[in-house]
A and B are shown apart, each in its own frame.
Chain A
């Protein structure tokens, strides 16, 4: 797992932990089984669970890194990984100063944030049409060449 996605809270003190790591991994296991059997996706917000410094890294290290890695640039970067367990994704949102503003484990076939949004596609269609309108057509190109 790249350093950018790893926890920023890496002040490891002591060896005693909260013991929340194992239950969380089991929660992921349950959610993955649910996805497989019913098709229902789940999201776990890593901020909502008390973790000792270093425990988040333990979770991320256990999940590892799979085949897909995507980067977004939307109000600051976001990194989306499929972990080594297919269907288990790690979605980390950063702000423009590269501070983590949200970290989710999504148990889904494909994280929704990666899909093109209808509103953005409509804006893009307008933009593409405008771009084509502004481009010189074949006739104008010919005239331009003759003039030269």
Chain B
């Protein structure tokens, strides 16, 4: 008599067959996966064989100082099949936004998963961690710092999803009132994969999970801990507007002839040349488009400290220091029109900043 395999012990291949998914459908999924992970199509049989035998890893997902945009990006992904298949192939044992349980019951589920899968579970973190005061962000009375350090101990690897977890993100933006830091600022003894973006492209999140499932190893990472498959090339290098840049054809404003003709958005502040991400090839909303294709410059959201980069609409070539220095450059005649607008904007921003009164904890208590 054949022994019945419990759903938890099934391989991905067995789990999919039990759901009536054909081998042909599985091969189609593997083809889409190879394309998603920027692997050559010749890898499709390798992916199929590895995923067929992969066992469901336990995943614990912790959300700290974040806006839930990363979870939204993933769960509202365009594809009802590919991402679902990935989720079918993992055991998501804790995610306080998605799970039904809350409070102590939810924490008990996390502790049980940690105990049962010690040393083997994947820890996914979105959001930054406040070091200023533990009370700034807690879950079930546990500070973010305590929860992270406790959960990280038994993790096989950590995936920092979103720019907040990877680099501190918006909570870390000046003046960083909560003392927000990235996961890698706290955890030093574990492999950490950074999947930045605000939010990251959904298939990039699932691509990293799939890579771990497929090969049982971490993908190749760049100097900022980002998977090379998705962050290996700049937006600029893969941008379909690149030829305009090479020919010196730029949109100077959002409604000029150059903008209408689809010329390069560099002078309008595009951060594509210094931003590494897969937006230009993988695109968004099921491959429909990406910001530059919609006529907006890249804001560089997958790079560290993008929020403090000096202005989304300031060309990269313009200095980011104080206004007096910038005025000298502008007076020298470099990109005079755009610089003048930039100067005016910065002047306004400076004035606003000066007149702005910062709220303190004491104010909030009033």
Chain A residues within 8 Å of B, Cβ to Cβ: 8-9, 11, 13-19, 43-45, 47-48, 50-53, 55, 72, 74-76, 78, 91, 93, 95-97, 99-102, 104, 112-113, 116-120, 123
Q: Within the assembled complex, what's the spacing in Å between the Cα atoms of A72 and B29?
A: 13
Q: Are A74 and B28 in contact (CB under 8 A)?
A: yes
Subset of 12 A-B contacts with CB under 8 Å: A9-B287, A9-B289, A14-B263, A16-B249, A19-B243, A43-B41, A45-B40, A48-B38, A74-B28, A95-B81, A95-B82, A97-B78
B 25-56 binary contact with A (CB < 8 Å = 1; else 0): 10111011011101011101000000000000
CB pair A117 B287 closer than 8 Å: no
Which of A19, A45, A91, A97 is most buried by chain B, counting CB atoms within 10 A of its CB? A45
- CA distance in complex: A82, B317 (Å): 48
The 10 closest A-B pairs by CB, nearest first: A99-B286, A13-B262, A43-B41, A117-B23, A74-B25, A14-B262, A52-B240, A119-B23, A14-B261, A95-B79
B28 and A113 contact, CB distance less than 8 A: yes
Whether A74 lies near B22 (C-beta < 8 A) is yes
Instruction: Determine whether the beta carbon of B289 is less than 8 Å from that of A11.
Output: yes
B282 touches A43 (CB 8 A): no
User: A75-B81, A104-B31 in contact; A47/B240 too (CB < 8 A)?
Assistant: no
Q: Are B28 and A50 in contact (CB under 8 A)?
A: no
Does the CB pair A118–B32 fall under 8 Å?
A: no
Task: Given A13-B260, A50-B239, A104-B41, decide whether A120 and B24 contact each other with a Cβ distance below 8 A.
Answer: yes
Whether the pair A17, B243 counts as a contact (CB closer than 8 A) is yes
Which B residues form the contact surface with A (CB < 8 A)?
Answer: 17, 21-25, 27-29, 31-32, 34-36, 38, 40-42, 44, 78-82, 85, 238-244, 247, 249, 260-263, 280-283, 286-289, 293
CB-CB nearest in chain B for A116: B24
A74 and B25 CA atoms in complex are apart in Å by 5
- Report chain B residues within 8 Å CB of A104: 31, 35, 41
Bound Cα distance A128, B239 (Å): 52
Which single member of B24, B25, B27, B42 contacts A43 (CB below 8 Å)? B42
Given contact pairs A18-B242, A95-B79, A99-B287, A50 touches B280 in the complex (Cβ within 8 A): yes
Report A-chain residues with C-beta under 8 Å of the C-beta of B280: 50
* Nearest-neighbor residue (CB-CB) of A43 within chain B: B41
CB distance from A100 to the nearest CB of B (A): 6
Name the residue on B nearest A54 (C-beta): B240
A47 to B261, CA, bound (A): 24
- Given known pairs A47-B282, A48-B38, the reply for A117 and B82 (CB within 8 Å) is no
Q: Across the interface, do B27 and A117 meet the contact criterion of CB distance under 8 Å?
A: yes
- Distance, CA A93 to CA B33, complexed state (A): 11
